[in-house]
A and B are shown apart, each in its own frame.
Chain A
Amino acid sequence: MKSTTRLALVCLIFIAGAARSRGGDGRGFDASVAPILARRCLDCHSGADPKGELDLSRRGAALAGGATGAAIVAGKPDESLLWERVESDEMPPKSPLSKDEKTAIREWIAAGAGWGTDPIDAYQVTTSRRAGRDWWSLQPVRAVAPPEVARADWPRSALDRFVLRKLEAEGLAPQPEADRRTLIRRLRFDLTGLPPTPEEVDAFLDDSAPDAYERLVDRLLAAPDYGVRWARWWLDLARFGESNGFEFDEFRPHAWRYRDWVVDAFNRDLPYNEFARLQLAGDARSPRDPSAVEATGFLVAGAFDSVGQTQISAAMRAVVRSDEMEDYVGTVGQTFLGLTINCARCHDHKFDPIRQTEYYRLASSLGGVRHGERDLSDIDPPALALRREADVLTSKIKEVEAPARLQILARRKQSPDPPPGPIAAWDFDRGPEDRVGALKVNLKEGATIGPEGLRVDGKTGYAESPPLPFELKDRTLETWVKLDNLDQKGGAAISLHASDGSGFDAVVYAEQEPARWMAGSEGFVRTQRVDGPAETEASRRPMQVAITYAADGAIRIFRDGLPYGKSYKSKGPRTFSKGESRLLFGLRHLPPGGNRMLSGTIVRARLYGRALDPAEVAASHGSFSDFVSPEAIARALPPDRRAELDRLNGELTRLKAALAATARKAYVVEPREAGATRVQIRGNPARLGDVVTPGGIAAASGLNADFGLPPDAPEADRRVRLANWITDAKNPLFARVVVNRLWQAHFGAGIVETTSDLGFSGGLPSHPELLDWLANELVARDWSLKAMHRLIVTSAAYRQTSKLNPAALKRDAGDRLLWRKAPSRLEAEMLRDAMLDVAGKLDRKLGGASYFDQTVTKAPGTSALLYADADPVQPGRSRRTLYRAWVRGGRGGLLTAFDCPDPSTTAPRRAVTTTPLQALALLNNALVLHLADACAARLVRDVGDDPALQVERAYRLALGRKPEPAERAQAVAIVAKFGARTLARVLFNSNEFLYVD
């Protein structure tokens, strides 16, 4: 039908054009020639990089011709290259022009090749090959009155009249209302993702009030389980994963904050427009509201190539960033607008009226978006209160300690512990010279030396010693370094580096774990986790960090005079030959760049030709610092003061624990100012075109796509404007897209089946008026999603039976006209949750860190993590499936078998497949068998040992009904012989359990 309409439209245009003169006047050109050029030529011959350098979209360029010369000689078709190519069917390649199209071109050239609108407006109208600005979904949402229907007694609401009207037009009838048992099971799964309890079923069956159904709906919408079920619906769109993917697939321990935000937003019924705005720009709109910041987890929920982002090649980094931008633009466009804007990264959209420049306007609007982990404790009121308390306590402690400290320092001045003797030493606060030998360092790029010490900028600056004139085997590297910030990753304060690049040993900050010191080495061969505490001080004062490398391979890190974490045995110290190594300061290893650069000030550094012992490290520390150990202070205080100090310290420890417990970190947008965005010709970041300003898609009618910002506007402004444009009540797509998604979630298919694509390549609406009516209702109901759920599930259309009508099936196999309520299979999460619930094992705790149902293995000597299925029967693993750690690399097992989507890609509609692997998983998986056991134990708890009672209870729990007599006898026999767990295993596997009528 669709293509027929389009064809008719094309013909109409064509005939209209033909009727007039095809000659040189502008109107004739616009009507008859421009559409042909637009449809058949401009996909290649227009834009920033037209094929053969021939641009046919503009008069001047078209007449000037391309690489092979002038294309059009006005009045002389036979001398025109354009006509020659077209006539010989050389162009367009593969599908030559029709006879009529050719005639139009020839006559146009013959008549003088006059031009109309310049450049040709290729997007004016929809053609048989692409959508124009007149495409249905881009038009304003219309106010529609519900239609008249013949069967006036069936509709319960206006919604039903739209549905019935279509059915009647097709000669189909709806099914009657389903029985209550069916309805409560349907509603319970749909609204909360869990089965009804037998008690709920009974209560509903016994409720004779006329509004029993509506009250049930309200009760379920008010349950916290509602948010848990619907969050999964949204996270499928958000390509929400809790690990990076790619090579390392690092876990994101704080990604769950966004998941919790979604659950909470649904439970609070946050208006959908605000829901969207916060996810796009919550941090920019409310920078002091931690919850608003957490909402931006949406933008960065996708995969992240941490290796690619830090690789040395700037050209390749730009490609990775460019891919990252496509992920943002694509996800935002599809999720909120149902537009595949990402298809316009390399060229104008092939099917929808979206220019390549518009892709880059969107990219500019999102140009400041970066993946990051933010510590929101600074803006979190409870954490702030605790921190203030801790500050008060700390100053009290200092007061109590003061006399002892002064006493100790005075004594230390009189008789200092002699520091050990280094073989090279630098006091950078005094200059670049070596205080022992002649190893004066050279400053590179952005490195400077001043009264503070050696400044390295984290970008290009570092210092390098001459080749070291000694062989080094066992040794100690020591440095005093103040960091510019604690969030940096991977830089080194000091690195012993082989000149041929074959190896290094370095004092590295936060390369593998945030805020931790590490003994870096080539390929991590001598590197292990030491589990030291997170650095909190080194941004405030120079911190002594030393690493000792003993001859037997033992490596030990020291911080602030004390051992840091645990020591470990490496396979032995690497030998750095005489004259073939250097020391680097501020750089992990050569070459400079990437995440290898440190940002901070190195005050002094020491190199020792042996591994110092802890006392020596402490002595060295003491010689430069007035740090006094807590133990020494305690010893020096009188008993009563010591008791007071112990009490205060105890309180502080408790406070710090509380602070740590409330630390609010989140994986969210960590924005950076972006500068101006330029078009990338053919999507290639090495070929830059014009600068663009932040903006939206002009074809979305009824609102202004220009954000009124300069190209280099602050990134926060750009996202705020983008969020406003997307969520504008006049935006024709925003409301349509989400009500269509709700429809799909309740009926199995959307009014438009391609819910993330309302463009030309997508489907057409089965009920266009209904779609607009629903969109208007959403706005009228203050964007309340709960109100829309209520509207849909209280309709007569939704309450139908699922009974199959063969005649209707033949007419409309997909049930798009809703001649019944099609049955649905439980989603993987619902299946697992339902089994847990029936077994009496479901842990209903809401929110918090994710549980793991995989083992996580850190591959030796790399940051890569590998995830594998683990025994699912562990404490903490019986929470709702939403709360599992959704890592990207660990797919498999029961959930994948039941069509859980790959979190690396958006899943606007889950496939529902049937495979033998599902049967195997549901029959044999450890979780299923465990829950069958648990269910049996529950049956004993609930009804005692009588098999007949157990059978009845099991059926009611799992299927919401009593067994039929024939079933009962068979089931009782099995329970008597094999125990109730065998029955539970059967029920979990049954079609009746897995499908909802």
Chain B
Amino acid sequence: MSIDRRGFFSWVGGGLAGAAAASLMLRDGTLQAAVPSESNPACPHFAPKANRVIHICLCGAMSHLDTFDYKPGLIAAHGQALKSSSRPDVFFGQVGRLRRPDWSFRKRGQSGLWISDLFPHLAEAADELTVIRSMVAETSNHTPATFQENSGFRLNGFPALGSWLSYGLGSESDDLPAFVVIPDAREFPPGGAINWSNGFLPARHQGVVVRPRGTPIDDLFPARPLETGADSAARNLLADLNRRHLDDRAGEDALSARIKGYELAARMQTSVPLVTNLKGESKEVLACYGVDRPETADFGRACLIARRMLERGVRFIQLFSGGTFGSPRRNWDGHENLKNNHSEEALRIDRPIAGLLRDLRRKGMLDDTLVLFTTEFGRTPFAQSAADVVGTGRDHNPQGFTVWMAGAGLKHGLAHGSTDEIGWKTAENPVTWPDFHATVLHLLGIDHQKLTFYHNGIQRRLTNVHGEVVKAILA
């Protein structure tokens, strides 16, 4: 039967551990040798530091210059023209005068990490952060850059990081999917579901969208009310029908797997609403995430639900901050007035993320959980305006920008890599997205070169043919 042998049992057995067992079974049949290699060693390949991930994904390109990359050189050069032999090839073509950050920077915590006043709450968690200030992206076009941030490739049709982890590790629980996505409450990111696509991996590795309010996932409950008793009567009849059908077909694994699927579905109907129901959380916890404040309620809720899902076995949760590139602005794309734009966006997430880190630490979860905070690229040190003007916005900058990680297996309170004097181009220890992904996989106990899936002639990897683990940030 042409069934995906990794696909028998929901999300748990879906990991490569399950696949390995299945392929052991297959090896009894001596005629299987013609299938391209499915001989991935079971994941994890070595002892993981982290067992689960929250990925906070900022759409629109957060300015590193105004947040985590302190550049006295830029402050000093404010108002001057860029000194460069060649004209920068920026997205909107305008190169204005150099512009200082709109927020003051301070040294924070024991570690003395520089963080600006844009993130006052997050700054208090500075000693948890592992900042990479030397990221480089391949394109200055938002959506291909976002695809690369999430899948390693600039194009549609490649599996997202979460899909790879769903494929490689599966979920820790049968009641919840391995890969969950919570989009910005205002709007989906541009491209919608393309961002959490399974690509060429089996469709069950696509991210499952969870709504923080209302019915958490599609089709969890009947679309219209059923008569009392009708649902359980139907399930009983279905079970009988399927059992009789299977009696004549003993040994058909796919059929028994489907029967099991209905049992798991019933369990999900109980377990999923419990995760998104925050009634049991104390006032203090709700306040810690900012659920009690209108400006942070959306993202705070998303963060808290993410923590609750991780506790119950979800492997990878992606939270989006920001929607499409429209007007009025509703993501981090501060072309016109960066100060207003970033103030509005940061306000929504600063307190919730700080609360999330504090809560994860308090619960001991940060010891084996990884938190990622990324954006597709950074912004230019020069304003986006006429050449002789210090305009109020900044253009796209893929040549140097900042992301951070926190949690398991990392050196905390550290800043890795650097950009040049004005924060334009990466100067030391450049880190590419494949490097970043290789490092994330490494922390999860996965050798990025060994997590592969055959597709059209290639054993595909998240990291393509690239990727070096950034050892300097590992504890």
Show the binding face of A for B, using Cβ within 8 Å.
1-2, 170, 239, 245-249, 303, 305, 307-308, 311-313, 315-316, 319-320, 323, 327, 330, 334, 339-340, 343, 351-352, 499-502, 522-525, 590-591, 593, 748-749, 752-754, 756-757, 759, 761-766, 802-804, 806, 809-817, 822-825, 859-862, 864, 866-869, 888-894, 896-902, 904-909, 911-921, 923-926, 929, 964, 967, 970-971, 974, 977-979, 982-983, 985-987, 989-992, 994-995
Choose among A802, A896, A986 the residue that contacts B241 (Cβ–Cβ < 8 A).
Answer: A986
Tell me the nearest residue of chain A to B215, going by C-beta.
A924
Query: Which chain B positions have C-beta within 8 A of A499?
Result: 386
Query: Which chain A positions have C-beta within 8 A of B92?
Result: 312
Tell whether, in the assembled complex, residue B203 and residue A899 are in contact, meaning their CB atoms are under 8 Å apart.
Answer: yes
Which of A522, A824, A978, A994 has the largest number of chain B CB atoms within 10 A? Answer: A978
B55 within 8 A of A: no
Stretch at the interface among B216-224, B348-356, B425-433: B216-224
| 9 extra A-B contacts, CB within 8 A, seeds A900-B203, A990-B238 | A239-B157, A308-B141, A754-B456, A809-B251, A859-B187, A893-B219, A915-B7, A921-B218, A974-B233
Distance to closest chain B CB from A462 (angstroms): 14
Tell whether, in the assembled complex, residue A864 and residue B324 are in contact, meaning their CB atoms are under 8 Å apart.
Answer: yes
The CA of A869 and the CA of B329, in the complex, are separated in Å by 25
Query: Known contacts A303-B156, A920-B220, A974-B233: does B36 contact A990 (CB below 8 Å)?
Result: no
Distance to closest chain B CB from A490 (angstroms): 15
The CA of A866 and the CA of B454, in the complex, are separated in Å by 31
B475 within 8 A of A: no
Tell me the nearest residue of chain A to B228, going by C-beta.
A978
Tell me the nearest residue of chain B to A755, going by C-beta.
B456
Show the binding face of B for A, using Cβ within 8 Å.
1-4, 6-11, 25-26, 28-36, 89-94, 96, 138-144, 154-158, 174, 177, 187-188, 190-194, 197-204, 206, 208-209, 217-224, 226-227, 229-230, 233-234, 237-238, 240-242, 244-246, 249-252, 254-255, 257-259, 261-262, 264-265, 267-269, 323-329, 335-336, 384-386, 389, 391-392, 454-459
The CA of A761 and the CA of B392, in the complex, are separated in Å by 54
Query: Known contacts A246-B156, A904-B197: does B258 contact A914 (CB below 8 Å)?
Result: yes
Choose among B11, B190, B219, B254 the residue that contacts A864 (Cβ–Cβ < 8 A).
Answer: B190
Query: Which chain A positions have C-beta within 8 A of B265?
Result: 916-917, 919-920, 923
Tell me the nearest residue of chain A to B323, going by C-beta.
A859
Distance to closest chain B CB from A111 (angstroms): 37
Query: Which chain A positions have C-beta within 8 A of B249?
Result: 802-804, 823
A sample of 5 cross-chain residue pairs with beta-carbon separation below 8 angstroms, ordered by A number, consists of A1-B33, A753-B34, A810-B28, A861-B326, A862-B325
Distance to closest chain B CB from A923 (angstroms): 7
Tell whether, in the assembled complex, residue A500 and residue B202 are in contact, meaning their CB atoms are under 8 Å apart.
Answer: no
Tell whether, in the assembled complex, residue B456 and residue A340 are in contact, meaning their CB atoms are under 8 Å apart.
Answer: yes
Query: Which chain A positions have C-beta within 8 A of B269?
Result: 920
Choose among B177, B198, B323, B454 the residue that contacts A761 (Cβ–Cβ < 8 A).
Answer: B454
Distance to closest chain B CB from A761 (angstroms): 5
Query: Which chain A positions have C-beta within 8 A of B264?
Result: 916, 919
Distance to closest chain B CB from A747 (angstroms): 8
The CA of A499 and the CA of B387, in the complex, are separated in Å by 10
Query: Known contacts A307-B143, A861-B328, A916-B264: does B34 contact A904 (CB below 8 Å)?
Result: no
Tell whether, in the assembled complex, residue A991 and residue B222 are in contact, meaning their CB atoms are under 8 Å apart.
Answer: no
Distance to closest chain B CB from A194 (angstroms): 20
Distance to closest chain B CB from A922 (angstroms): 9
Which of B29, B201, B255 has the largest number of chain A CB atoms within 10 A? Answer: B29
Query: Known contacts A502-B336, A864-B190, A864-B325: does B223 contact A986 (CB below 8 Å)?
Result: no
The CA of A862 and the CA of B60, in the complex, are separated in Å by 13
Tell whether, in the assembled complex, residue A862 and residue B139 are in contact, meaning their CB atoms are under 8 Å apart.
Answer: no
Choose among A814, A909, A967 the residue that contacts B29 (Cβ–Cβ < 8 A).
Answer: A814
Tell whether, in the assembled complex, residue B457 and residue A991 are in contact, meaning their CB atoms are under 8 Å apart.
Answer: no
Tell whether, in the assembled complex, residue B31 and residue A806 are in contact, meaning their CB atoms are under 8 Å apart.
Answer: no
Tell whether, in the assembled complex, residue B203 and residue A897 are in contact, meaning their CB atoms are under 8 Å apart.
Answer: yes
Query: Which chain B positions have C-beta within 8 A of A868?
Result: 188, 192
Query: Which chain A positions have C-beta within 8 A of B33?
Result: 1-2
Tell me the nearest residue of chain B to A997, going by C-beta.
B249
Distance to closest chain A CB from B277 (angstroms): 18
Query: Which chain B positions have C-beta within 8 A of A896?
Result: 203, 206
Query: Which chain A positions have C-beta within 8 A of B454?
Result: 754, 761
Query: Which chain A positions have C-beta within 8 A of B208?
Result: 917
Tell whether, in the assembled complex, residue B29 and residue A811 are in contact, meaning their CB atoms are under 8 Å apart.
Answer: yes
Tell whether, in the assembled complex, residue B221 and residue A924 are in contact, meaning their CB atoms are under 8 Å apart.
Answer: yes
Query: Known contacts A924-B219, A977-B233: does B245 contact A911 (CB below 8 Å)?
Result: no
Which of B156, B252, B454 has the largest number of chain A CB atoms within 10 A? Answer: B156
Query: Which chain B positions have C-beta within 8 A of A992?
Result: 241-242, 245
Tell whether, in the assembled complex, residue A995 and residue B241 are in contact, meaning their CB atoms are under 8 Å apart.
Answer: no
The CA of A912 and the CA of B156, in the complex, are separated in Å by 22
Distance to closest chain A CB from B222 (angstroms): 5
Tell whether, in the assembled complex, residue A923 and residue B222 are in contact, meaning their CB atoms are under 8 Å apart.
Answer: yes
Tell whether, in the assembled complex, residue B2 and residue A824 are in contact, meaning their CB atoms are under 8 Å apart.
Answer: yes
Distance to closest chain A CB from B61 (angstroms): 13
Query: Which chain A positions have C-beta within 8 A of B91?
Result: 311-313
Tell whether, in the assembled complex, residue A914 and residue B28 are in contact, meaning their CB atoms are under 8 Å apart.
Answer: no
Distance to closest chain A CB from B386 (angstroms): 5
The CA of A380 and the CA of B361, in the complex, are separated in Å by 69
Query: Which chain A positions have C-beta within 8 A of B190?
Result: 246-249, 859, 862, 864
Query: Which chain B positions have C-beta within 8 A of A919?
Result: 258, 261-262, 264-265
Query: Which chain B positions have C-beta within 8 A of A920?
Result: 217-220, 265, 268-269
Tell whether, in the assembled complex, residue B251 and residue A246 are in contact, meaning their CB atoms are under 8 Å apart.
Answer: no
The CA of A313 and the CA of B9, in the complex, are separated in Å by 49
Tell whether, in the assembled complex, residue B257 and residue A591 are in contact, meaning their CB atoms are under 8 Å apart.
Answer: no
Q: Which 10 A-B pairs have the closest CB atoms?
A: A340-B457, A861-B327, A913-B7, A904-B157, A748-B2, A905-B157, A911-B202, A904-B156, A926-B223, A862-B326
Tell me the nearest residue of chain B to A981, going by C-beta.
B230
Tell whether, in the assembled complex, residue A761 and residue B458 are in contact, meaning their CB atoms are under 8 Å apart.
Answer: yes
Tell whether, in the assembled complex, residue A967 and residue B204 are in contact, meaning their CB atoms are under 8 Å apart.
Answer: no
Query: Known contacts A748-B2, A822-B1, A911-B7: does B328 contact A860 (CB below 8 Å)?
Result: yes
Query: Which chain B positions have C-beta within 8 A of A926?
Result: 223-224
The CA of A809 and the CA of B217, in the complex, are separated in Å by 38
Distance to closest chain A CB from B223 (angstroms): 4
Query: Known contacts A762-B36, A982-B234: does B457 contact A351 (CB below 8 Å)?
Result: yes
Tell whether, in the assembled complex, residue B192 and residue A967 are in contact, meaning their CB atoms are under 8 Å apart.
Answer: no
Distance to closest chain B CB from A165 (angstroms): 15
Choose among A343, A756, A912 the residue that contacts B7 (Cβ–Cβ < 8 A).
Answer: A912
Query: Which chain B positions have C-beta within 8 A of A918?
Result: 258, 261
Distance to closest chain A CB from B271 (angstroms): 11
Tell me the nearest residue of chain B to A1, going by C-beta.
B33
Tell whether, in the assembled complex, residue B144 and residue A986 are in contact, meaning their CB atoms are under 8 Å apart.
Answer: no
Tell whether, in the assembled complex, residue A982 and residue B230 are in contact, meaning their CB atoms are under 8 Å apart.
Answer: yes
Tell whether, in the assembled complex, residue A905 and residue B29 are in contact, meaning their CB atoms are under 8 Å apart.
Answer: no
Tell whether, in the assembled complex, residue B327 and residue A862 are in contact, meaning their CB atoms are under 8 Å apart.
Answer: yes
Tell whether, in the assembled complex, residue A245 and residue B237 are in contact, meaning their CB atoms are under 8 Å apart.
Answer: no
Query: Which chain A positions have C-beta within 8 A of B220?
Result: 920, 924
The CA of A810 and the CA of B31, in the complex, are separated in Å by 10
Tell whether, in the assembled complex, residue A757 and residue B192 are in contact, meaning their CB atoms are under 8 Å apart.
Answer: no
Distance to closest chain A CB from B160 (angstroms): 11
Query: Which chain A positions have C-beta within 8 A of B336?
Result: 502, 522-523
